[in-house]
Amino acid sequence: MERLLKPKEVAILLNINVKTVYLWVYQSYIPYIKLAKTVRFKEEAIKNWVEANSFNNAKKSGKCPHKNTEAI
């Protein structure tokens, strides 16, 4: 079974504030798992999400993943 990450671990992995992680969960922007009253993340799902939302991937597809704008 894949190890599940805590919000603080995701924040460290992505180099962001843990409050941002919780905001993204609230907005359903980032893939997460709800276990009772806790939130956890599959490490592989987070890595895939980062890759899918990276700028280089947007340039390849011609579309920016945010705000429906075109990549430069």
Domain annotation covers residue 30? yes
Domain annotation covers residue 72? no
**CA distance to 22, 41, 59, 60, 72, per residue, from 11 (Å):** 10, 11, 25, 27, 28
Q: What is the pLDDT of residues 6-61, one digit of tens each?
A: 999 999 999 999 999 999 999 999 999 999 999 999 999 999 999 998 887 655 55
Say which CATH number the domain at 30 has. Answer: 1.10.1660
Q: For residue 51, what are its two tokens?
A: 């890759």
pTM (two decimals): 0.74
The answer to whether the CB of 45 falls within 8 A of the CB of 53 is no
Query: What average pLDDT score do residues 57-66 get?
Result: 56
Domain annotation covers residue 39? yes
Give the number of domains in the chain: 1
